[in-house]
Chain A
Amino acid sequence: MKLKKLVTLGGLVALIGAMSVSFAAADGHTVIRIASQSPLSGGQSVLGISIRNGVELAISQLSGPLEDLGYTVEFVPFDDQATPEVGVSNAQTIVADPSILAVIGHLNSGVAIPSSEVYNDNDLVMISPANTNPAVTDRGLPTVNRVCGRDDLQGPTGAVFASQELGISSVYILHDTTAYGQGVAEYFQEQAVADGVTVLGFEGTEEESNFEGIIQPILALAPDLVYFGGIYNQTAVFISQARAAGYEGLFMGPDGFDSSEFAGIAGESGVGTYYTTVAGPASIYPNAAQFIEDYTEAFGEPPQPFAAQAYDATAIALAGIAQAAEAAGAMPARADVAAAVRATEGFEGLTGSITFDINGDPEIGLYYVQQVNAATGEEWSSNTLISTLEIPSPVHAAEMMAMEVEATPGS
């Protein structure tokens, strides 16, 4: 019975698909589709929906060049539910539709990594607006790109800021023992040591509520800064208890702090905390004023983090498709689109100028240091941007190093 329904449903979908293709063909335009994959339901849907909206806005505004070439650009959003299984199954559906030439997604690195294997097997290009895990691009897949920064540079960003701008001389590092928290804390530690900061402790804990015992040695060591690689639901509790116990130094953390929940939990104690992130709110980008206006008009609410990145990712995809279509003089092959996207150089987007390195990372990533101003969740957007750092991706840094060595052959 269920199977029968599924078959009927599948048939309907196929029929509608066929009809839309034939309709499109009827008015003399070939249809090109761009898919998005992000969580549209569940706890992270706020961010996922803003990614979808960013893509939709970009397609409606920027598909002019392709239309001039005689194509119609359509948008197909998918809900990956922040779940790897769903993401991969959507990916199968996406690659089966030959008119889809690019995917914008995902929000979660854990979903992006397996799904991108499917895209890559079918030469379909993916541009990620939000995935920060190094493994997303470090696999060296020719179809996988991202417009945001990396975790292994986010930790050092915090360390550089702390040592140079805040002038700290000692730090105590905590992490949540997860791949994300411990990873970013280790990258932070490496850079802090290199900058001559004394690391007074490096500890992992799964404790989520009672930090009193953990705070005692921190009080005794009295570090200038406590860095906590973790997510707000743990770190904000720690911060409020550490303040109550009498710790008077500074706090810093990675983008796991970037949630209005942080202020809801930490309250007054959290004010003054620094955090690093790869995606500031759209308002911090100089070119984004028009985007915020258009977005708010189209969707009735201001853009969330990653909406501007999604817009840029879509713009790059459209430019790549147009370039490949022009070169082919017909509907371009997916592999050509992927190659054109990878060759993107000096693309001027909302979030800055983007050039992809050979792994698909932006050659220069943007990293932001923000400071919490909010004592309640509603005020979260009032946090101030303290500093923006431009850091080369590992591949680009190595290239630059190699060029320097070539330039000075004697060394």
Chain B
Amino acid sequence: MSTDTLMPERSGLLSPITSSPTWIRFSHTALYRYVIFPLGQIFVFVVGAALLLTVISYVIAFLFPEPRENINLVTQLNRQLPGMIISGISIGFVYAMIALGYTLVYGVLKFINFAHSEIFMVGSVSAFAILSFIGSLGGLEGWNPILLVVVTVALSAVLSGLLAVGIERVAYKPLRRAPRLVPLITAIGISYILQDVVRAIASLTINDFNLTYPTRDLDWIRNPILTLTFGEYDVRVRTTSVIIIIAAIIMLLALNYFVNGTKSGRGIRAISMDQTTAGLMGIPVNLMISLTFFIGGAFGGAAGALFGLNVGNVTPYIGFFPGLKAFTAAVLGGIGNITGALLGGILIGMIESFLNGILVYFPAVGIRYTDIITFGILIAVLIFRPSGLLGERVDEKV
């Protein structure tokens, strides 16, 4: 296996074709492979999605300049655009992080882990528990915000990751040789069990399952981190949006390094290509599968904690819709493909945010149709590219 098969640029979306020896040497350095390239990829996806949707929105505004009396769509768009993009990016990263869990497990075991949406929920509920515990020890105000977020997100990620490993051991491993439909059904069963166990625990301990984060009233959560001024309008950027974006980028870089730059990552890629042969080559298959579940679960849990910090209130039933959308994102990008999950998540988040912002001005449609249009786009993409935007499992083509 030559080194360039490890290169993520195989995806082909972003390949600045420079054949100069300096570039080739540079492109083999760790700095490029683990920092600059993935950062550039994220940047291109975000900016590309934002630009594409902005252009489409202005085309719509051009076609329907006044969809409703006294509403000039261009004026409204000018005003809403920064807010829509920021909320699209932050929810997009949440979807991308959940989608990674679906796609990693699919890549390795070829089945959809439908319990993953509940792993996300467990992440958000455990973040609530952690913050409440810290709060009960003596005031969250005294904590450094960055430290508090890091501790909360990291602990929820580890808890969720361990839970995912446990679920795999209990519900999927005994069925590994069963038909693919069987673990699918156990996954659905597990997701119901998780919902109701969490609800039972919440009801027994605090007698309520609307879990409101104690961070809600902290100044740095309530007040915007910065206020951008566009002409006469102010756009507030919420601290939690920035936290989501930064945390997601750091974790995505870490994942890229892990999968492409470490021995364990190579093991995971190997068993996703061919489990039996990889096993014969001495790769500990069960350990690698557990590791995959741990990483997927940790990403889901971290996403849940970040989402919870942003929305401020979670319930044991919160996982369903984000889980469904993240699954859509994974399929849109190409299930089994890590880069695809990232692209799909950002796209779905951005599309949703723009639709919520624009459909309001078309009373005949309305935001109730946001999900319908999002899934319509998914169907349209799958008709023309049945294996998703970036194709299913790039590795297999090597």
Residues of A within 8 A of B (CB): 177, 201-217, 219-221, 233, 236-237, 240-241, 244-246, 261, 264-265, 267-268
Contact = CB atoms under 8 A, between A and B. Distances in A.
Interface stretch (B135-143, B246-254, B310-318, B384-392): B310-318
B356 A213 contact: yes
B222 interface: yes
A210 B91 contact: yes
B76 A217 contact: yes
A265 B212 contact: yes
Interface stretch (B35-43, B79-87, B171-179): B79-87
Contact of B357 (A207, A210, A213): A213
A213 B84 contact: yes
Q: Which of A205, A210, A237, A240 has the most CB of B within 10 A?
A: A210
Contacts of A209: 307, 311, 313-314, 318, 322
Interface string B357-398: 110110100111010000000000000000000000000000
A205 B359 CA distance: 12
Interface residues of B, number: 44
A214 B312 CA distance: 16
The interface residues of chain A, by DSSP majority, are classed as helix
B217 interface: yes
B360 A203 contact: yes
A177 B367 CA distance: 11
A219 B234 CA distance: 10
A51 to B, nearest CB: 22
Contacts of B196: none
Given A201-B360, A202-B363, A240 B312 contact: yes
Contacts of B83: 215-216, 219-220, 245
B318 A205 contact: no
B66 interface: no
A245 B352 CA distance: 18
A208 B318 contact: yes
A373 to B, nearest CB: 16
Contact of A246 (B90, B224, B241): B224
Given A208-B318, A244-B222, A267-B212, A213 B368 contact: no
Given A209-B318, A264-B212, A221 B313 contact: no
Q: Which residue, of A209, A211, A245, has the highest number of chain B Cβ atoms within 10 A?
A: A209
Contacts of B169: none
23 contacts: A202-B363, A203-B360, A203-B366, A203-B368, A204-B368, A205-B368, A206-B368, A208-B315, A208-B318, A208-B321, A209-B318, A209-B322, A210-B310, A213-B357, A214-B367, A216-B353, A217-B360, A220-B79, A240-B216, A244-B312, A246-B236, A264-B212, A268-B217
Interface string B293-321: 00000000000000100111111001001
Contacts of A246: 224, 234, 236
Given A233-B210, A245-B238, A212 B90 contact: yes
Q: Which of B76, B212, B358, B370: most chain A CB closer than 10 A?
A: B212
A219 B237 CA distance: 13
B307 A217 contact: no
Nearest to A240: B312
B274 interface: no
A209 B121 CA distance: 12
A267 B360 CA distance: 28
A235 to B, nearest CB: 11
Given A212-B91, A216-B84, A220-B80, A264 B210 contact: yes
A201 B362 CA distance: 9
B357 to A, nearest CB: 5
Given A213-B356, A214-B356, A246-B224, A203 B312 contact: no
A322 B238 CA distance: 65
B88 interface: yes
Interface in B197-249: 208, 210, 212, 216-217, 221-222, 224, 234, 236, 238, 241
A44 B152 CA distance: 34
A110 to B, nearest CB: 21
Nearest to B354: A213
A212 B367 CA distance: 13
Interface in B237-288: 238, 241
A200 B81 CA distance: 19
Nearest to B234: A246
Contacts of B313: 209, 236-237, 240, 265
Contact of B312 (A177, A205, A237): A237
A314 B321 CA distance: 46
A217 B210 contact: no
A241 B311 contact: yes
Contacts of A221: 76
Contacts of A210: 91, 307, 310-311, 322
Interface string B44-74: 0000000000000000000000000000000
